[in-house]
Amino acid sequence: MKKTFVVAAPLLLSALLASAVASQRTPEESAAVRAAAGYRVVANQVYHVADGHEAKLDLYLPRGRQTPAPTLIQIHGGGWDGSGGPRRPTP
């Protein structure tokens, strides 16, 4: 009986701790985990080259899908002025 308890107690404690940690995820973290499991990421794909600069994008492709799917293209609205920092609006 003692041997069983010595083996089972750490396993039970590990399971309880794992469920406690998982339950502390925010809804955003849970959504990110589900999204990561459902998509294959193909990063840094060059789609245009101008003046020696490669414009790149990341593709998030649905796993296991063989037919066309709705597509979302997100274009970041920020900009850079070439000085190494973000462009600041003129007053």
Per-residue pLDDT tens digits for 3-37:
555 556 776 667 666 665 556 888 888 888 887 88
Give this prediction's pTM: 0.46
Look at residue 88 and tell me if it is in a domain: no
Look at residue 13 and tell me if it is in a domain: yes
Look at residue 54 and tell me if it is in a domain: yes
Look at residue 25 and tell me if it is in a domain: yes
Distance from C-alpha of 59 to C-alpha of 46, rounded to nearest angstrom: 11
Could you give the angle at the alpha carbon of 88 between the alpha carbons of 87 and 91, nearest 5°?
145
**For residue 13, what are the domain limits?**
2-62
The total domain count for the chain is: 1
Look at residue 77 and tell me if it is in a domain: no
Predicted local distance difference test score (pLDDT) of residue 44: 93
